[in-house]
Chains A and B, each alone.
Chain A
């Protein structure tokens, strides 16, 4: 398991996050990555789940990351079929 994670993540959600994050410049990405992982895990705990799911990630992306990064994250989540903009 990645040391950045402190909980188990759903594979699709984790892949979506990786796909969203890795094309970004590292300087932009580091803070956003740490913030979004932490917030997603908090969201999972809030719903008493032991696994971080797509919905936790979507909520974290919407609420906790800067606007520029948010757009890229949500687009990647949509591409993985775990977010619907409509």
Chain B
């Protein structure tokens, strides 16, 4: 099969795979996409997890992010990281930061871990701790980040923005810079997982616009890498407002890659297009990841931007934005419906003005 044929069928490999290696977690966050807490009885054994990692590598993937749950609670984490490296993947982990002692960070680095994403949902402890359900969680995240900086393991700060911490965005970014983070990856809250149905936490349109303006302003001013997740309109605004050379040299596009360049494996083995677009397309306990990636009708439809409906279907930017498929699905039950949170008028997106 030629590349063109492959592309027509939408089977270029994912660049990034999230692998939730455990559901176990000591925090109690209301938005948790994997509804973490106790260990899942279907959690993969070490050998099963290693087989899945090999499958991810065979698919042609570049980066594997091991998260959960809290991945550091899994005793074989270092072994899985080493296996990822040997398989040709770039392994990184997503953690709430608390368990990242200096010793563990050194071990992670020695095992071949190339980076850590640390969740930080407040510029001050109170905001973060209240949302995350544990006093001291903020302090743990900050100390974990400091340990990464000290050991020389690259890390990024990953705030989830919701209605009650939005005003702390600027403070969180300042904090990330002070800590020495290499990137800030900002998540727009999506009511999925444990947050399913909880639309009251969502940002409103004005907040989303301010988020984008703040990130563009920051990205133009400094060399920290900014990524915005679950808000693909970010890239539309970037293309409208930022000179092309500056986009090419500094700005990072990251959305919406669900099922096109990205896929998620949940701790029970279920495979979903994205951590916040939880339509089960298979399970690695019984299905090969390669078969799922190549043959799932859901993934095939996600890759075909011509199937998008409503405003997204006529949008000039659909190849780079496509709307947040997760938000369309959570609001309407139809993953191909127009993004219900998109504020652009039909005139703006038809003409690109």
Mark A residues whose CB is within 8 Å of B.
2-4, 18-19, 21-27, 29-30, 33, 68, 71-72, 75, 78-79, 81, 83-86
User: Are A85 and B252 in touch, CB under 8 angstroms?
Assistant: no
* Residue B7 is within 8 A (CB to CB) of chain A in the complex: yes
User: Are A84 and B249 in touch, CB under 8 angstroms?
Assistant: no
Q: Tally B residues with Cβ within 8 Å of A.
A: 25
* Cα–Cα, bound, A44→B300 (Å): 36
User: Are A26 and B3 in touch, CB under 8 angstroms?
Assistant: no
Residues from chain A with a CB closer than 8 A to the CB of B183 are: 25
- Nearest residue (CB) in B for A4 is B245
* Cα–Cα, bound, A4→B4 (Å): 29
Residues from chain B with a CB closer than 8 A to the CB of A71 are: 62
Mark B residues whose CB is within 8 Å of A.
1-4, 6-7, 12-13, 15, 62, 183, 223, 225, 244-245, 247-254, 261, 320
Residues A84 and B4 in contact in the complex (CB < 8 Å), given A26-B225, A72-B15, A78-B12: yes
Residues from chain B with a CB closer than 8 A to the CB of A72 are: 15, 62
Residues from chain B with a CB closer than 8 A to the CB of A27 are: 225
Residues A75 and B12 in contact in the complex (CB < 8 Å), given A26-B225, A84-B2: yes
User: Are B3 and A83 in touch, CB under 8 angstroms?
Assistant: yes
Task: Return the contact of A81 from the options B4, B13, B253, B254 (Cβ within 8 A).
Answer: B4
Task: Return the contact of A22 from the options B6, B13, B245, B248 (Cβ within 8 A).
Answer: B248
Task: Return the contact of A26 from the options B1, B2, B223, B245 (Cβ within 8 A).
Answer: B223
